[in-house]
Amino acid sequence: MKSLQENAAVTENPYLLLTPGPLTTTRSVKEAMMKDWCTWDEEYNRLVASIRKRLVQLAAPTAADAYTAVLMQGSGTFSVEATIGTVLPKQGGKLVIAVNGAYGERIVQIAKVLGIPVAVVRFDERSPIDPELFEQALMSDPLITHAAIVHCETTTGILNPLPEIAEVIKRRNVTFIVDAMSSFGGVELNMHELGIDYLISSSNKCIQGVPGFGFVVARREAIAACKGHARSLSLDLYDQWDMMERSNSKWRYTSPTHVVRAFDQALKELELEGGIAARQERYSSNQRVLTQGMEEAGFPALLPLEWQSPIITAFRYPSAEFSFETFYASLKKEGFVLYPGKLTSEPTFRIGSIGDVQPSDMARLVAVIKNIQSSVHKE
């Protein structure tokens, strides 16, 4: 039987995760989790306070004092549900959601489970949200108080036109909620300039941490007015924020200490890389190398370039006989893990461009795929 030390010597990463999160992390991020940490220690609380401050600086650099950040245990969906379930009042609120993929549909499901009045404006999964049509929905229903969209809809990899949608929201004077789960940290944005009231993301996306908590960057005046709104005890975003504000960033319940330490390290590495602009450029370079090589290998991208995010790309099957399961298994043996498709209208699979991944990694992937396709054609 191998010792623990011998097992630890096994290859650090058996494969490169080319997904929209969890994703491939750096060795130093993983090493931050190699100690045990206390949840109520003052040093730890100061660390959480620092993380909250840095998140606000990233999200609203021109008006940081007007915003605050609250961390919430669980996956990103927990933070989406905490936001939807807390920011809408129990009486007199109605949410409109623009949907062009599975994650917009998930917000609809959350609202319905919570008993929140909801209007849904659906678009084709292969098209961005149309701001004009969304505005028409807002104008037609005076009961609407809140609006929600998904910025990067990873069903296809589409990047919805956030600035144009934000202008519509400003004109209608409703509370603006943005699910930036897969874009925050990898695509530049400014909450203050866009008029976003709540921005939601998680630890294991473009900041390049590991799974374990989500976070919400909120306009202070907006979240301060949400006391008593929550439909849940553990997912009460206001109470979590209020505790952190009053108690030097303490969490109400046990926090994922190891994940928080890893996230702190990931934030440091984002800064060392040059911030969000530099990371966006690397992700965009990854995506360009990937898309060009995949086209050459016979895998056309689903979306036109002008709609494509640098986060994840959906590719069409090259033929009716194509087996994604066989393709996936072949690539995993070569050290790459992809994502299956989530599109309902046609068969696709997806390849992520985020994480500790470089353009050279994409070039290696494309070379392997070309070899696989060459072998298939020979048969």
pLDDT at 10: 38
What strand order describes the sheet that includes 175-179? 67-73, 213-219, 198-202, 175-179, 146-150, 95-99, 118-122
Q: Is there a contact between 76 and 201 (Cβ–Cβ < 8 Å)?
A: yes
Pair (309, 264) in one structural domain: no
DSSP character for 66? G
Q: pLDDT tens across 116-174, in order?
A: 999 999 999 999 999 999 999 999 999 999 999 999 999 999 999 999 999 999 999 99
Confidence of residue 6 (pLDDT cuts 50, 70, 90): very low
pLDDT at 379: 55
Closest by CA position to 294, among listed 189, 366, 199 = 366
Number of Cβ within a 10 Å radius of residue 129: 25
Last residue of a domain, one of 245, 271, 297: 271
Amino acid at 101: G
Pair (264, 281) in one structural domain: no
61-79 mean pLDDT: 97
Confidence of residue 8 (pLDDT cuts 50, 70, 90): very low
How confident is the prediction for the chain on average, in pLDDT? 94
Pair (162, 304) in one structural domain: no
Percentage of the chain exceeding pLDDT 90:
89
Domain count, the chain: 2
Please check whether residue 137 lies inside any domain of the structure: yes
221-245 mean pLDDT: 98
Pair (255, 282) in one structural domain: no
Please check whether residue 7 lies inside any domain of the structure: no
Outline where DSSP puts E strands in 249-295.
none
pLDDT at 377: 60
Pair (245, 129) in one structural domain: yes
Query: How far from each other are the two terminal CA atoms of the chain, in whole angstroms?
Result: 42
CATH number of the domain to which 328 belongs: 3.90.1150.10
Q: Which run of H or E residues covers position 200?
A: strand 198-202
Q: pLDDT tens across 331-346, in order?
A: 999 999 999 988 778 8
Q: pLDDT tens across 175-206, in order?
A: 999 999 999 999 999 999 999 999 999 999 99
Q: Whole domain around residue 364: which residue ranges? A: 16-21+276-378
285-300 mean pLDDT: 97
Residue 279 pLDDT > 80:
yes
pTM, two decimal places: 0.94
Pair (115, 230) in one structural domain: yes
